[in-house]
Structure 1
C-alpha cells in the first residue's frame, strides 16, 4: 500500500462537466490535522478553479473544513439521519447546527426525514428518492443470463441488495430462512460496521458480497421476490430506501418490514407488502409468489412514471435559482452591484 508523505487531491473527470476531487492524507493525522489538511487542499483547488457559485453538502461533517467558503446558494442534501448511525462522529450534531445556519435550502431524501427537519430551517423540502428506472427495467427482459455465482442457487429465490449493516434485521433473515428451508435467500452487498461473523449461516442463505451497479438487473431478474428486512431501530427511523422503487422498476414483488417511508406510500398503495415478524414475512412472500403480476405491474409503472431524476433536479434547480434571484434583488435594494451568474458548484 502506498505511503502518503504529503496530503494531496486526486482529480478525476467524470464527464458532463463533473470532476471528483478525492483527498488522500497521510496516516496518523489527528482529527484537527485531518480537517486542516482538507481545508488547505480545498482552498488550493479553488484558487485555481475559482470560487463556486453553489455549495452542496451531503454530510455536515464537511463544514469542519469548508465553513469559511461563501457561494450564491448553499444546499444541504440530507439523505439520512446520520446522527443515528453506528459510530457517528461526536461533532456531527454541532456541524449540522452550523450547516442549518449557513444553508439556503435543505432537501431531504424522504418524508419522515422532512418531518424531522422541517422545524429546524426556514426552507426544507422533501424529495423522495428517484431512480434510473430504465436501468432496473432491464431485469424484466426475457433471456437475461444468470450471474455465475447465482446460477447454481435453486428457486424460489428471495433477494436483497444494498449495504449490510446495523440497519438489517439479521435475526429476521435467519428465522425466515429457518421457517422455509426450501427457499433461498440471496444477499448482495458489502458488510459495513458489523462483524461478518455475526451474519446467520445456513445452507439457504447466500452472502454474495458487493456487486457492480451495472450487473444488478442481471441478479434481480433471477429473483422471485425482493426483500427489505430492515430492523426497526434508531438507524432506520428516518430512512427512505432507494431500493424500493428500484425493486419495483425491476418488476420484482417486494416484502418489507414496516419502515415508515415504505409504508407510505408503497404499502398504502398496494405496491409493497408490509410484514410484521418472520412468520408474516414468509407468508407475505409466499402470497407474492402466487399472485398474478400484470395488474400489479401496471400500477407500479403508473407510480414510477410520476417521478424521475430529471423532474427532481428541475425542481431543485428552480429553487436554487429563486434563491440567487432573491439575493440579487436584495443586494440591489441595498445599493450593491448584483453578482454575475456562475455555473460552478462544489459538492462537499
Structure 2
C-alpha cells in the first residue's frame, strides 16, 4: 500500500512516547468542533494520528494520504479506488492501519473512537488504553448504518473509559459502562470574546441591513427548516444569517426569501467577525430523534461572543442555559415574541451574568478532566508499556 504525503510532515526533536490513534467519522477540515478542540489539547502529551473515513477516487491502487494539521497531529485519509466492494474496503483499511502503526515508534498506544463503525477494520488492535468519546447519538442521525447499534455494544465492551458529549446522552448511556463520564460542549472564551469588539463586517454580509439574527453550524436534518421559513416570513424586517455547510439534505429544499442569507461554510477563525456584526443568535433546531441528545457547542460560543440567544427546546440547552436565564427558549408559537424581545435589549446587558457562568468552562478544563479519568483507567488496567513499531 502506498503512503502519500500531501504536504511535508514537520520534523521535530521532541518525542512523545504515547501515540493516540483516533478513528473519526468527521473530517478534520470539515467543521472545527469537539474532536479538534480536544485533540489539539491532547497533542500536548501525545502524538496524534487522526484517521478519517475512507474516500473514493479514480486511482489504480489504494493509498493512505497523510497531512500535517499541527506539530504533533497527522491526518491520515484512506483513499480507495471506485468500485471497491465493502468487504474488500474493510480489509484494505485494516492493512493500511497495520502498516501505519508498524511505521511508528511509540511506547504506549491509546485508541480513541468517535465512531464504533471503525471497529469493522480495527477490532484487532490491542492498545494500552481504549477511549470512546460518544459525542452524539449517531444511530439517530439521517442515513445511519444499521450496524451502528450492534457495534456500539461491542465498543462499550472494549472501551476502558467512555465520555459523552452531554448530560442527556450520559443518562441514556450510563448503564452500558462502568466508567462513563459526561463532558458537555465547552468553549474557547478568548476566541469568541473577539466578537464583543468592533470588527470589520465580512464582505458577504456587509450589504445586509440590521437587525440580524444568525445561526452557524452544520445545516442538516437537525435544523427546523419550516421554523426558519416561518420566522423569516412573519419578520420581514429581520435578516436571518445562516452559516454552515449543507449536508444530508437537498440544498434546493432550503427556504429562499430576501431576508434569509445562506452564506455557506466558514473557517473557525472567521466566525468572530460574523458574530460581531449580528444582533442576536438563534438555534432553530428541530425537535426529533436526531436532536434528542445533542449539546450544541454553539450555545456557549454565542454567549461568549456577547450575543443574546433564542433556542428551541433542546433538552441540554433548556437544563443548562434556559434554567439560568442565559438562553431564551422558544417554539413556533412564540418565536417572534422571543426574538423581538432579545432584539429590543442592549447587546451587553447580560454579559456579567454570562461571564460568571462561563468562567468555569473551557476546552482546557475538559481535556484535563478527560486526561484524569484516562490516568485512572490506565492505573486500574495496570498497563505495562511495551516498545512497539519501527
TM over 0.5: yes
Large movers: runs of 4+ above 6 Å? 341-344
Please show how residues 1-348 of structure 1 align to structure 2 within 5 Å. 3-50=58-105, 52-142=108-198, 144-277=199-332, 279-328=333-382, 339-340=384-385
Contact 1:53-1:342 at 8 Å conserved across structures: no
Structure whose residues are more often strand by fraction: 2
Q: Is the 8 A contact 2:57 2:81 kept in 1?
A: no
Per the TM alignment, residue 12 of structure 1 is displaced from its structure 2 partner at its CA by 1.7
Aligned counterparts of 1:139 and 1:38: Cα–Cα separation in 2: 42
Contact 2:57 2:80 in 1 (8 A): no
Give unpaired runs (5+ residues) of structure 2. Answer: 1-55
Task: Note if contact 1:160-1:186 (Cα within 8 Å) is conserved in structure 2.
Answer: yes
Q: In 2, Cα distance between the equivalents of 1:342 and 1:224?
A: 56
Task: Report the TM-score, using the length of structure 1 for normalisation.
Answer: 0.92
Shift of residue 292, structure 1, vs aligned partner: 3.6
Shift in Å at residue 15 of structure 1? 2.4
The answer on whether the counterparts of 2:192 and 2:301 sit within 8 Å (CA) in structure 1 is: yes
Shift of 1:3: 2.2
Give 5+ residue unaligned stretches, structure 1: 329-337
Asked if the contact 1:80/1:109 (under 8 Å) is kept, the reply is yes
Cα distance in 2 for partners of 1:210, 1:320 equals 34
How far off its partner does 1:256 sit?
0.3
RMSD: 1.7
Deviation at 1:211, TM superposition (A): 1.1
Deviation at 1:341, TM superposition (A): 7.8
**How far 1:184 sits from its partner (Å)?**
0.7
Larger helix fraction of residues: 1
- Check conservation: 1:187, 1:206, Cα contact below 8 A: yes
Rounded Cα–Cα distance in structure 2 between residues aligned with 1:54 and 1:180: 51
Shift of 1:247: 0.5
Determine if contact 1:136/1:249 at 8 Å carries over to the other structure. yes
TM-score (norm 2): 0.82
CA shift, 1:343, in A, is 12
Q: Is the Cα contact below 8 Å between 1:12 and 1:19 reproduced in 2?
A: yes
Inter-CA distance 33–273: structure 2 relative to 1 (3 Å threshold): same
SS in structure 2 of the partner of residue 150 of structure 1: coil
